[in-house]
Structure 1
Amino acid sequence: MNITPEQELSLIMEMLTKLDVSNEEASIVAEVTLDADLKGFSSHGLGRFPQYVKGLEVGTIKPKSEITVEKDSIATALINGNHGFGHVVTYRAMEMAIEKAKKAGIGMVGIHNSNHFGVAGYYTDMAIMEDLIGIVIANTEPAVAPIGGKEPILGTNPLAIGIPSQSHYVSVDMATSASARGKLLEAKRRGEMIPENVALDANGRPTIDPCEALKGSILPFGAHKGYALAFMIEIMAGPLVNASFGKAVTGTANPEVTCTKGDLIAAIDPSQFVDMEDFKNDVDEFIAEVKATPNVFIPGDMEVRNVKRHQEEGIPLDDNLVKQLREITSELEIDVADILGE
């Protein structure tokens, strides 16, 4: 079935309100979740919601937690999310990074004791809207084996970068693995196979079965290059921000254990280097060069296309996800038929 963006927001708000999440926090979670679904990152949208509900039920996600600022300077900060919603903690962190960037030219905020934050590009979009460059990196519980090994040690370790432009949406949001773990979880839920050259089973053999891949490891993208990038992110989103790293990272996919991953959030003010309008014009000039060849896309084009399509046609939900959501709403005594106009 397909639902409208408005229906998705209403459904999330109803579920979170029933789970004693404040309207302020629920609104942030709902907006980030919808953003993922609109852009086509369904593995990080409503499809992840059963994970968040389980986290709330078992107490690994603690709504209304106060964020603690442990270290603070003109340009940097380290914050303790105290196991609140990852969406809320990361939203507040980017707000801090933006404020610091406007004063110092760059703002960088490290996070530990948070939770899965949805789609990373939402937070870099926050920077773009303030005419800033946004950067988000994070580590996750082990899913990727080092090149030559078969035991998962590295996370899928996402990277998002957003750049302001006069007339284009310029954004990349990607895992450093051949696939995000969420896509494997989504394939498992849908009963689908995954592409070749994405994952290995527990014995180190190539597999297209998502169940076997989840027991084994995901390949890094670009072989040694993706591995090297994931390795560096593991350190910058682990030891640098007082978070766990390697095999000690837990809770990004399994909501029943405490999440110990880390995040590093940055905002950069281009006007501290060059004239802001000149910078954005130069970005657009470069994009024009790239697009001079027909059928060429830039990072962000697919998301723009997906948003337009999903706003017009609705957001698709597979049957198993609908079943999961109906079970959750039934337990919470929510009249989902009323929300979805059934």
Structure 2
Amino acid sequence: MQISPENIQKVLYELFLKYKFNNTNAKLLANVFTESTLDGVSSHGVNRVPLFIEYVKKGVIKIDAEAEKTASFGNIERWDGNLGPGIVNATKCTNRAVELAKQHGMGMVALRNTNHWMRGGTYGKQAANANCISILFTNTKPNMPPWGGKDSRIGNNPFVVSIPRKKGHVILDMALSQFSFGKINDYRLKGEKLPYHGGWDDKDELSNDPDKILSKERGLPIGYWKGSALSMVLDMLATILSSGNSTYKINSKEIETAISQVYICIYPEVFKDNGLPEKLLEEIIDFTHSVEPINPEDTIYYPGERSAQTRAKNLKEGIFVNRSIWEKIMAL
């Protein structure tokens, strides 16, 4: 079914008010969930709303809590999320990392005890809109086996890099699994197989069947052993820098919560390069775009380009929302 972004935002805003979020946070949550859906990332947009509300009901997400600074070391700070809404905490910590970057050239906020930030690219875009480069990452519950292992011990720890650009920001937003579990669930809802292997089934065979992968949540690391190693390193960094929970500790909880995140921002204006960064970005993008595709009907994209095209299409035609998901939201 097609729904306008204005209608989605209105329904979600009223829903969050119903569940006792204050006006400011209800608007922020409704906006972020809508914007993610508008950009074609329903897996971390409207599709996540029912689970988000379930966690609110269970007290996993503390509706009145927000991140607060616990320690400062110049341009590096530690914050505690107090188990508040991940979107609210991530927005606040990104803003602070931007402030530190504009004061010092580079700023870092390490956050512990927070909840799922939903779509990580949201905060990459937030930093880019403030004319900052960003490097952001989070750990998660274990949902991938380390390379060669049978059981999940590492997380698909999302990793974001954003670069401001006048013609459209460059935003890399990727989980360290071949497909995020939200995306795998998207394919399941549509009754489709994944285009490539996305994880292991209960017979320890690689599979592209969403149901078989989701049954045990054993995702396939990007780059096989390389993705496995990168997942462990990001977990180590998030844990050490925030003095928070590792994937191991998160695993001891019934529900994924109290996770650790890192927000690094760089203010490129300190270099006073007078437009050179834009020229260098265009050089790289033009060179990449100019390659002949293997399949003539394919197009080569830079990170974030397809999301921008999807957004333009959805603004014109309305957003496709899974009917069963929307009915669940309306019933909340």
User: TM over 0.5: same fold?
Assistant: yes
SS in 1 for 2:55: helix
TM-score of the superposed pair, with normalisation by structure 1: 0.89
Structure 1 residue 271, shift from structure 2 partner: 2.4
Q: State yes or no: 1:4 paired with 2:4.
A: yes
Give distance in 2, aligned partners of 1:46 and 1:233: 28
Map of 1:228 onto structure 2: 229
| Structure 1 runs, 4 residues or longer, greater than 6 Å off | none
Q: How does 1:1-342 map to 2 (within 5 A)?
A: 1-214=1-214, 215-250=216-251, 257=255, 259-293=257-291, 295-328=299-332
Pairwise CA distance, 1:326: 2.8
Is 1:69–1:79's contact at 8 Å kept on the other side of the alignment?
A: yes
- Could you list the per-position Cα deviations for residues 280-331 of structure 1 after superposition, in whole angstroms to 9, with x for gaps in the alignment? 2222232222223364311111011110011111111112212322321xxx
State the shift of 1:267 in Å. 0.7
CA distance in 2, matches of 1:13, 1:276: 42
Cα deviation 1:40-61 (Å, max 9, x = unaligned): 1111000000111001111111
8 Å CA contact 1:110, 1:262 repeated in 2 = yes
Distance 1:126 1:213, change over 3 A: same
Unaligned runs of 5+ in 1: 329-342
Aligned length: 325
- Say if 1:162 and 1:170, in contact at 8 Å, map to a contact too: yes
Contact 2:125–2:169 (8 Å) recurs in 1 = no
171-180 or 27-36, larger mean C-alpha shift: 27-36
CA-to-partner distance for each residue in 1:1-22, whole Å, 9 max, x for gaps? 1111111110110100000001
- Shifted more, 30-39 versus 74-83: the winner is 30-39
**Percent same amino acid at aligned positions?**
28
- Alignment check: 8 A CA contact 1:150 1:203 kept: no
Kindly indicate whether the alpha-carbon contact (under 8 Å) linking 2:140 and 2:256 is maintained by their aligned counterparts in 1.
no
Offset of residue 206 of structure 1: 2.1
CA distance in 1, matches of 2:217, 2:52: 24
The CA deviation at 1:189 is 4.1
- Matched residue of 1:296: which SS? coil
Greater Cα shift, 101-110 or 70-79: 70-79
Aligned-pair CA distance for 1:276: 5.0
Q: Displacement of 1:138 after TM fit?
A: 0.7
Tell me if structure 1 keeps the 8 A contact 2:133–2:163.
Answer: yes
CA distances 1:226-285 after superposition (whole Å, capped 9, x unpaired): 22221211111223212222332259xx9x736021110111011233525222222223
Distance 1:218 1:305, change over 3 A: same
User: Following the alignment from structure 1 to structure 2, what is the Cα–Cα distance between the partners of residues 216 and 92?
Assistant: 31
Label 1:276 to 1:229 Cα distance change in 2 as closer, same or farther (>3 A).
farther
SS of the counterpart of 1:69?
strand
Q: Deviations over 1:91-112 (max 9, x none)?
A: 0000100000001000111111
- Superposition CA RMSD, Å: 1.9
Q: What stretches of structure 2 of length at least 5 have no aligned partner?
A: 293-298
Find the counterpart in structure 2 of residue 339 from structure 1: none
Distance change (3 Å), C-alpha of 1:11 and 1:207? same
**Distance between the aligned counterparts of 2:301 and 2:51, measured in 1?**
33
Q: Secondary structure at the match of 1:218?
A: coil
Structure 1 residues 250 and 52, CA gap change in structure 2 (3 angstroms):
farther
Cα displacement (A) at 1:193: 3.4
Superposed CA deviations along residues 202-246 of structure 1, whole A, max 9, x for unmatched, are 442223332331214001012122222212111112232122223
Cα deviations by residue, 1:64-121 (Å, 9 ceiling, x for unpaired): 2142211113211111111111000000000100000001000111111111111111
Letter in 1 for 2:303: P
Whole-Å separation in 1 of the counterparts to 2:143 and 2:104: 37
